[in-house]
Amino acid sequence: MRENGSVERRTVLRAAGASVAALGLAATAGCGGDGGGAGDGSVELRFAWWGAEERAKRINKSVALFEKKYPRIKVKTDFQDYVAFWEKFQTQAAGGNPPDVFQNAVTFLRKYDKRGVLLDLKSQVDAGNLNLDNFRAGVEKVGQVDGKQLGVPVGSNTMSLVIDEKVFDKAGIKPEQGWTWDEYFAALKKIHDTQKVAGDTGYFGIMYLYDLFLRQNGKAFFTEDGLGFAEADLTEWWTDAYNRVKAGIITDPKKIEQLKPKSALASGDAGSEFTWDNFTVRYATEGDSSYGLAPIPTTDGKETGQYLSSLMLSASARTKHPKEAAQFIDFMVHDPEVGRIMGYDRGILATTEQFDAYRPADASSKAIAQYEEDVAAAGVLGAITPHPAGADTVEAAFLRIAGDMSQGKTKVSDAVKQFFSEAKTALAA
C-alpha cells in the first residue's frame, strides 16, 4: 500500500468522496459480463489496480510469471491513480462490466457487495482453486464480510506513530509500548518547549486513528450499519485537538497546506506523525533526519485498538471465469517469487510464503517488518472494525471537515453537526 502517505490520501479522498454520489451502480448478480475466451480454450482475465509506475512494473512482471505457469490464461492489465481508478471502476460496475480481478480495500467491500459487484470467493476456496492458509496474523479476515470472502489480502499494515528520532532523543523522550495519551501529549509539549518545534503534524482528521482511540474506549468508528460513536465523543476529540493547535504543540494547519505534498514531519516542522506503517518509507526520501516507528498511545496502558488492514484482490461477480480468477489471486498472494518482486510495495507481505521469501535490504522496510512483528508479539492486535456501505464517503467527509475545523473555518460544534449530517446521508444511500 505504498501510496504517498497521508498527504496523497487527503487529496484522493476528497475527489473520491465527491465522485461517489454522482455515480450510481446497478445491482448485478451471477456470472456474465464481458470475460474473454477463445476457441482454443484460452481465457483472458482483466486485472485492474491503482498505484504508480513502480507498482505497475512489479505487477506486470508478476503477471508474466503467472502466464508462464498458466499458459492458457492471459491477463490484460490496467492501472490508474487512486481517484481515476475508482471513477473508472464505478462506471464499469454500473455498466455491468467490471474487471475480472481488481485491487480493493476494506472501505469498499460492503458498498460493492451491496450492489452485487463482488464474487464470494468461498466457493473457489471450497473448489480448491484458492488457498486461504498461511496468512500472517489472521489478516485474511480483513476480506471477510457477513460470512463471505470478498477479498484476499496482498499485504498488511497497521496504524503507527512515526517520529523524528533526533528530535525525540534531544528532548529526552523514549516512547514505549503501553504509554498513554497523557504521556504522549506531555511529550509533544516538551518537544515544543525544548526543541522549538511542534510535536505532531495533526492527528484529528485521521479516521483510522480516531477509530483506534474509540476502540480503546469500548466503541468504534463504525458498526456494521452506521457510526459507533456520538456527537459528544467527536466534540471532545476535535475540541481537544483544536486547543492543542492553538497552544502550538500541533503544526499550524495552514503550514501543513503550504508544505503539501511534503509532510511537515519530513520538512522539520513537527516531531511526529500518525500514519500507516508502510507509508513510512516516504520520510527517508523526503527528509534529512532519521525516522522511527513508535507505539500507538493507549487509554489504559494496555490496549492500542490496533488491527491489521490491507490492500486486497477481489473478483467480479460477473466474471465468466471464476476458477481462473481465483487461480490468479491465489498465485499473486502465495507465490514466493511474486513476493520477492513486489516486496513491501502494497504493505508487509500477507502470506508466510511471500513474507519468508522477501528479505528487505533497506532500513525503512526492515523497520516496518519489525514494527508489525513487535505489535503482533505485544498481543494488542484485534479484529478490524466492519465498514458499512458508504464508509469511503464518510472518511472523505471526516478528513475534509476536520481540516476546515482545524484552520478555524468552522466552529467545532458546527463541524461535528456537519459531519454527522453528511455521514447519515452517505450511510443511508
Where does the pLDDT of residue 29 fall: very low under 50, low under 70, confident under 90, or very high at 90 and above? very low
Question: How do residues 72-125 score in pLDDT, each as one tens digit?
Answer: 999 999 999 998 999 999 999 999 999 999 999 999 999 999 999 999 999 999
More confident position, 149 or 32: 149
CA neighbor of 29 nearest in space, from 150, 147, 123, 118: 118
Question: How do residues 274-324 score in pLDDT, each as one tens digit?
Answer: 999 988 888 888 999 999 999 999 999 999 999 999 999 999 999 999 999
Domains and CATH numbers, the chain: 5-153+319-352 (3.40.190.10), 159-306+387-428 (3.40.190.10)
Distance, in Å, from the CA atom of 326 to the CA atom of 341, rounded to the nearest integer, reads 20
Question: How do residues 383-427 score in pLDDT, each as one tens digit?
Answer: 888 799 999 999 999 999 999 999 899 999 999 999 999 999 999
CA 171, chain centre distance (Å): 31
**Average pLDDT of the segment spanning 262-283:** 92
Strand ranges inside 2-137, DSSP E = 36-37, 43-50, 73-80, 101-105
More confident position, 18 or 9: 9
Q: Is the pLDDT of residue 26 over 60?
A: no
User: SS3 for 14?
Assistant: helix
Give the H/E segment covering residue 274.
strand 272-276
Q: What residues contact residue 422 under an 8 Å CB cut-off, 6+ apart?
A: 393, 394, 397, 401
**Average pLDDT of the segment spanning 132-143:** 93
CA neighbor of 360 nearest in space, from 335, 342, 381, 387: 342
Distance, in Å, from the CA atom of 47 to the CA atom of 58, rounded to the nearest integer, reads 14
Where does the pLDDT of residue 261 fall: very low under 50, low under 70, confident under 90, or very high at 90 and above? confident
Q: Is the peptide bond before 261 cis (omega within 30 degrees of 0)?
A: yes
Question: How do residues 181-227 score in pLDDT, each as one tens digit?
Answer: 999 999 999 999 999 999 999 999 999 999 999 999 999 999 988 99
Identify the pLDDT of residue 7.
40
Question: How do residues 54-75 score in pLDDT, each as one tens digit?
Answer: 999 999 999 999 999 999 999 9
CA neighbor of 199 nearest in space, from 175, 177, 234, 176: 175
* The total number of residues written for the chain in this structure: 429
Where does the pLDDT of residue 37 fall: very low under 50, low under 70, confident under 90, or very high at 90 and above? low
For the residues of 156-213, what is the DSSP string, one character each? EB-EEEEEEHHHHHHTT----TT-BHHHHHHHHHHHHHHHSS-SBS--TT-HHHHHHH
Identify the pLDDT of residue 41.
75
More confident position, 242 or 28: 242
**Average pLDDT of the segment spanning 263-269:** 95
**Average pLDDT of the segment spanning 222-251:** 95
